[in-house]
A and B are shown apart, each in its own frame.
Chain A
């Protein structure tokens, strides 16, 4: 059975899928909001915000794209940077407000940096979900 069956009550407003994805990246949940999925939009926004906030409160450092070092080290730096960047507005706000604790030893900053990356990865799931709704692959 195809997965793109939808009911009239869950009709998707005609929106550009890529505009939806871009909005979903910039403000977590906004893609779903644009598509009329307001409950899910709130859940995405709150969950990504909470994950990011936990990372900040644990003083997790943000990753920087660095072009030097070993391949694995660069992979971690770039991967972490993409994860941070995927948080959209939260990342830009944090950078704009001068958030940038030093990368120091300790379990708190270590866990914090994981939360900052995880928040971005969760938002990527939201972006994919919004894309699938916009293209009517799912409700």
Chain B
């Protein structure tokens, strides 16, 4: 079995697993952990698309 993912799919999966762990280790209550995990995931996505579009315009 071989997993063939493109860059976007890989980055989303990476953001997901990282956000889960960052949420779990950082806050004190389950609600705060969930909120922080979603917050981190949101920033991962913002950085992913932001840098992606930046490179797109940079290359012209």
Interface residues in chain A, defined as those with a beta carbon under 8 Å from any beta carbon in chain B: 39-40, 43-44, 47, 50-51, 54, 57-59, 107-108, 111-112, 114-115, 118-119, 122, 125-126, 128-129, 138-139
Closest A residue to B17 using CB positions: A51
The CA of A119 and the CA of B7, in the complex, are separated in Å by 18
Q: Using Cβ atoms and an 8 Å threshold, which residues of chain A touch B28?
A: 138-139
Q: 19 other contacts beyond A47-B17, A118-B14, with CB at 8 A cut-off?
A: A40-B24, A43-B21, A44-B21, A44-B24, A47-B20, A50-B17, A54-B3, A58-B2, A58-B3, A58-B4, A107-B6, A108-B3, A108-B5, A111-B7, A111-B10, A115-B10, A115-B14, A125-B22, A126-B25
Interface residues in chain B, defined as those with a beta carbon under 8 Å from any beta carbon in chain A: 1-7, 10, 13-14, 17-18, 20-22, 24-25, 28, 30
The CA of A59 and the CA of B27, in the complex, are separated in Å by 34
B interface SS class: helix
Closest B residue to A138 using CB positions: B28
Closest B residue to A108 using CB positions: B4
The CA of A44 and the CA of B6, in the complex, are separated in Å by 26
Asked whether, in the complex, the Cβ of B14 is within 8 Å of the Cβ of A128, the reply is no
The CA of A138 and the CA of B26, in the complex, are separated in Å by 10
